[in-house]
């Protein structure tokens, strides 16, 4: 019998080797067809008396990326379509479909023959749940090998037995942390946690797996043996359990503020499941999983953080008419923190870099930033010494503009000043080839105006990185009025080569992300001037779903930068373009008290090494009132609505034209409440009419900045959504 996605071979020892190798796919994933074939394979192994057991391995460089999430995305649509007319039937069908993988893995686990998972490379999600259902796991000791259950990061949780098996195999504290954080484990940690049985060199992977079966591997899991009881903290009502579970609940609340239905359901599934036999525990897990799939948070997160993210990473907005290019040599002008970070990301991708600054010593200092990052990676086992040397060898520090000759792309990352940028472009121009694209890493200055001094506006584009470059995955690719398709394609190919996610935005002051971020910072500043206690503002931001409060974020991006942006807007657009209360606050902090943020250890917070505390002197500038005067729900709504409103304005203005980019950009770029799916999904989730009503009420109380724009009012009147009215082409 042959299979489309697997190879099945049985040796003289009676051990079957099942090789998962999907044709026309770079990585194995679970699809309906894969589950059909795996089900047939399990029955074949179980029913053939000549087969002693089976090893499941991969024919690719990775074991598997897990379930094809678009399959789950389709479940949402099928459920929504049926729920309108038959809600009970829709729920039953959703439960049956979403629990199929769990039933399949349970059949493998109890079929009476031992299975061993032989894992090299990445094993994620459903693939790791398959491995946990097997009777043993052998991992290669290669640095590429990782296992994980990251589902909680995209709004769901391991629903094919992962929650129940991890908690019965690992220490409960370590298991809960892995599940709730969606952690990925290297082979050594997986072995230490009890989730792997052996770690061997890649060449010996199949041999080690076969040897375990040949030695008489027990096909009955411990939890299926008679008299099994969870031990220690895995028993919620044991003395050890009383030490773990109340703390786990507190940690969940602290980290999620109860914004994530999947994390809550995961914890409930684990707690209830550990009190039941495995078959009942798996039914509990499946029901919670089906419940989570019915939430708007799961649908929005999967759409933005998987489906849309994947499409953008594959170049959904790249001009199809331009042949693909591979950047070989990139010039970076400016070796400060941003330029050095860009150089590091570029060199790590295997691209030659010319890192240029006013003198060689400054350029070498920028290169040293890469050395520091690579030293940390080596210490943590994420890179080897030879990889570090190879990456550094690709960075040539220079003070000579002539070294830019031969670059495919040049990125300037100098000070945010028009005159400085113009001088850099003037000096670089004579050394650029006819096909070289020039990019500005400006965060606020309009690209069209910068391109006017570049000489070749068709080859001029914005490539806006976020700080710190080595950790931030978003890049805004900004089109000037005359930017050509080739420049856009070159920029997109470069961003993809350095493994970051691009969004394409049209020219505007502040572009997309910074406009939303500045609205968030403004609201925090104005709350402070109203007398809202600083700690309450910060907590409201985190409770709303933001990674940090607006005051802490402003410290990170620098208070003097916010002041300069404010003054530039005032100079260019007039006094009416800024809020005088915000100007007075920043002037007091930056100009009079020289509190610049984290970079000089003094901002809204005081910094002492890694510790930070809100500066007590804030009370001298703005006297706080009682927190009782400020409903926390209203503060949360203000902080999210102001960002979402600004996103809607950029959409109306044509700065952003694809709702996927607005949502993905908001989460990756400035951490907008991931459980909402992003700024526009937040509006869609509330409903345009309800969102407009909420914003009008906020505008009546706090000012016209909350007044909805015409696009939103039109959508509210017609009952439209962003993803309905502006559905991206597939």
CA-to-CA dists, residue 617 to 233, 549, 614, 714, angstroms = 46, 18, 9, 46
What is the C-alpha to C-alpha distance for residues 358 and 354, in angstroms, rounded to an integer? 13
Selection from 476, 343, 444, 438 nearest residue 397 by Cα: 343
CA-to-CA dists, residue 1 to 20, 22, 37, 637, angstroms = 15, 17, 11, 59
Token pair recorded at residue 562: 């916010």
Please list the ranges in the chain whose pLDDT falls under 50.
none
What is the C-alpha to C-alpha distance for residues 281 and 274, in angstroms, rounded to an integer? 7
pLDDT of the residue at 268 = 96
Please report where in the chains the tokens 């939430």 appear, as a residue.
Answer: 295
Please report where in the chains the tokens 């999210």 appear, as a residue.
Answer: 640
pLDDT single digits (tens) 282-316: 999 999 999 999 999 999 999 999 999 999 999 99
E runs forming strands in 250-405: 329-333, 352-356, 395-398
CA-to-CA dists, residue 87 to 47, 76, 81, 285, 292, angstroms = 39, 13, 10, 21, 15
Cβ 624 vs Cβ 275: under 8 Å? no
Q: Which helix (H) or strand (E) holds 579?
A: none
Cα dihedral 499, 500, 505, 509 in deg (nearest 10): -130
HEC sequence for 399-454: CCHHHHCCCCEEEECCCCCHHHHHHHHHHHHHHCCCCCEEEECCCCCCHHHHHCCC
What is the C-alpha to C-alpha distance for residues 573 and 592, in angstroms, rounded to an integer? 25
Please report where in the chains the tokens 């991890």 appear, as a residue.
Answer: 166
Cβ 319 vs Cβ 341: under 8 Å? no
Exposed, middle or buried: residue 554 (CB in 10 Å: 0-12, 13-18, 19+)? buried
pLDDT of the residue at 75 = 84
pLDDT of the residue at 45 = 98
329-508 belongs to which CATH class? alpha beta
Token pair recorded at residue 399: 């003070």
Which residues lie closer than 8 Å to 686 by C-beta, 6 or more apart?
694
- Strand, coil or helix: what is 134? coil
Q: Let me know if domain 514-725 sits in CATH 3.30.1380.10.
A: no
Token pair recorded at residue 496: 């993809």
CA-to-CA dists, residue 664 to 43, 305, 487, 504, 726, angstroms = 42, 7, 23, 11, 15
What are the structural domain ranges in the chain?
6-294, 329-508, 514-725
- Strand, coil or helix: what is 126? helix
pLDDT of the residue at 729 = 67
What is the C-alpha to C-alpha distance for residues 89 and 702, in angstroms, rounded to an integer? 46
Token pair recorded at residue 518: 């500045």
Q: Give pTM, 2 decimals.
A: 0.92
What is the C-alpha to C-alpha distance for residues 276 and 158, in angstroms, rounded to an integer? 18
Q: Do the first three CATH levels of 6-294 and 329-508 match, i.e. the same topology?
A: no
Please report where in the chains the tokens 């052996």 appear, as a residue.
Answer: 198
Q: Which helix (H) or strand (E) holds 217?
A: none
Cβ 638 vs Cβ 522: under 8 Å? no
DSSP 163-190: HHHHHHHS-HHHHHHHHHHT-EE-HHHH
What is the C-alpha to C-alpha distance for residues 428 and 406, in angstroms, rounded to an integer? 12
What is the C-alpha to C-alpha distance for residues 405 and 394, in angstroms, rounded to an integer? 16
Token pair recorded at residue 547: 């990674």
pLDDT of the residue at 353 = 98
Cα dihedral 186, 473, 342, 394 in deg (nearest 10): 40
Question: Which CATH superfamily is 6-294 part of?
Answer: 2-enoyl-CoA Hydratase; Chain A, domain 1 (3.90.226.10)
pLDDT of the residue at 70 = 77
């Amino acid at each position: 019998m042959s299979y489309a996605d697997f190879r099945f071979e049985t040796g003289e020892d009676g051990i079957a080797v099942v090789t998962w190798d999907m044709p026309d796919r770079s990585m194995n994933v679970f699809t309906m067809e894969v589950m059909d074939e795996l089900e047939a394979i399990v029955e074949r192994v179980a029913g053939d008396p000549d087969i002693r057991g089976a090893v499941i391995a991969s024919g690719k460089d990775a074991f598997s990326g897990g379930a094809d999430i678009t399959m789950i995305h389709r479940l949402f649509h099928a459920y929504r379509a049926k729920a309108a007319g038959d809600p009970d039937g829709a729920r039953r069908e959703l439960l049956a479909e979403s629990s199929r993988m769990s039933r399949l893995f349970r059949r493998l686990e109890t079929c009476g023959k031992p299975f061993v998972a032989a894992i090299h490379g990445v094993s994620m999600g459903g693939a790791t749940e398959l491995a946990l259902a097997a009777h043993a796991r052998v991992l290669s000791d290669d640095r590429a090998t990782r296992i994980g259950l990251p589902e909680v990061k995209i709004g769901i949780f391991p629903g094919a037995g992962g929650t129940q098996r991890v908690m019965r195999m690992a220490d409960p504290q370590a298991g809960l942390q892995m599940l709730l954080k969606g952690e990925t484990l290297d082979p050594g940690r997986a072995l230490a946690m009890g989730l792997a049985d052996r770690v061997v060199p890649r060449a010996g992977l199949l041999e080690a797996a076969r040897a375990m079966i040949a030695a008489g591997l027990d096909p009955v899991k411990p939890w299926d043996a008679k008299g099994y009881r969870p031990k220690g903290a895995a028993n919620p009502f044991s003395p050890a359990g009383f030490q773990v579970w109340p703390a786990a609940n507190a940690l969940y609340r602290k980290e999620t503020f109860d914004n994530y239905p999947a994390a809550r359901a995961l914890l409930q599934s684990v707690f209830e499941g550990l009190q039941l036999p495995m078959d009942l525990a798996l039914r509990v897990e499946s029901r919670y999983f089906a419940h989570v799939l019915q939430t708007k948070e799961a649908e929005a997160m999967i759409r933005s953080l998987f489906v849309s993210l994947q499409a953008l990473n594959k170049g959904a907005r790249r001009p199809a008419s331009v042949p693909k290019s591979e950047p070989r040599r990139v010039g970076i002008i400016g070796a400060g923190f941003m330029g050095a970070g860009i150089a590091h990301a570029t060199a790590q991708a295997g691209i030659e870099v010319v890192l240029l600054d006013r003198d060689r010593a400054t350029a070498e200092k920028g290169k040293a930033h890469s050395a520091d990052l690579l030293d940390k990676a080596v210490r943590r086992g994420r890179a080897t010494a030879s990889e570090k040397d190879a990456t550094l060898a690709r960075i040539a520090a220079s003070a000579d503009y002539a070294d830019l000759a031969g670059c495919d792309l040049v990125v300037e990352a100098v000070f945010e000043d028009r005159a400085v940028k113009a001088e850099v472009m003037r000096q670089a121009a004579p050394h650029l080839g006819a096909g070289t694209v020039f990019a500005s890493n400006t965060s606020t200055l309009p690209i069209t105006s910068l391109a006017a001094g570049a000489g070749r506006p068709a080859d001029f584009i914005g490539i806006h990185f976020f700080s710190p470059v080595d950790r931030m995955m978003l890049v805004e690719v900004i089109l000037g009025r005359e930017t050509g398709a080739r420049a856009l394609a070159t920029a997109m190919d470069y961003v993809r080569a350095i493994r970051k996610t691009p969004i394409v935005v049209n020219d505007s002051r502040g572009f997309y992300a910074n406009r939303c971020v500045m609205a968030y910072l403004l609201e925090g500043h104005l709350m402070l001037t109203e007398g809202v206690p600083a700690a309450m503002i910060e907590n409201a931001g985190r409770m709303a779903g933001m990674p940090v409060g607006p005051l802490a974020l402003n410290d990170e991006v620098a208070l003097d930068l916010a002041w300069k942006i404010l003054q530039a807007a005032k100079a260019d657009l007039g006094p009416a373009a800024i809020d005088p209360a915000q100007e007075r606050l920043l002037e007091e902090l930056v100009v009079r008290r020289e509190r610049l943020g984290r970079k000089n250890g003094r901002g809204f917070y005081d910094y002492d090494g890694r510790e930070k505390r809100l500066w007590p002197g804030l009370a001298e500038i703005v006297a706080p009132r009682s927190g009782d005067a400020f409903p926390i729900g209203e503060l949360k709504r203000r902080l999210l609505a102001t960002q979402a409103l600004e996103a809607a304005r950029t959409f109306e203005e044509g700065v952003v034209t694809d709702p996927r980019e607005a949502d993905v950009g908001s989460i990756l770029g400035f951490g907008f409440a991931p459980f909402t799916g992003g700024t526009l999904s937040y509006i869609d989730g509330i409903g345009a009419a309800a969102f407009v009503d909420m914003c009008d009420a906020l505008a009546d109380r706090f000012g016209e900045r909350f007044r909805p724009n015409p696009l939103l009012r039109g959508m509210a009147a017609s009952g439209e959504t962003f993803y309905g009215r502006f559905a991206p082409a597939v």
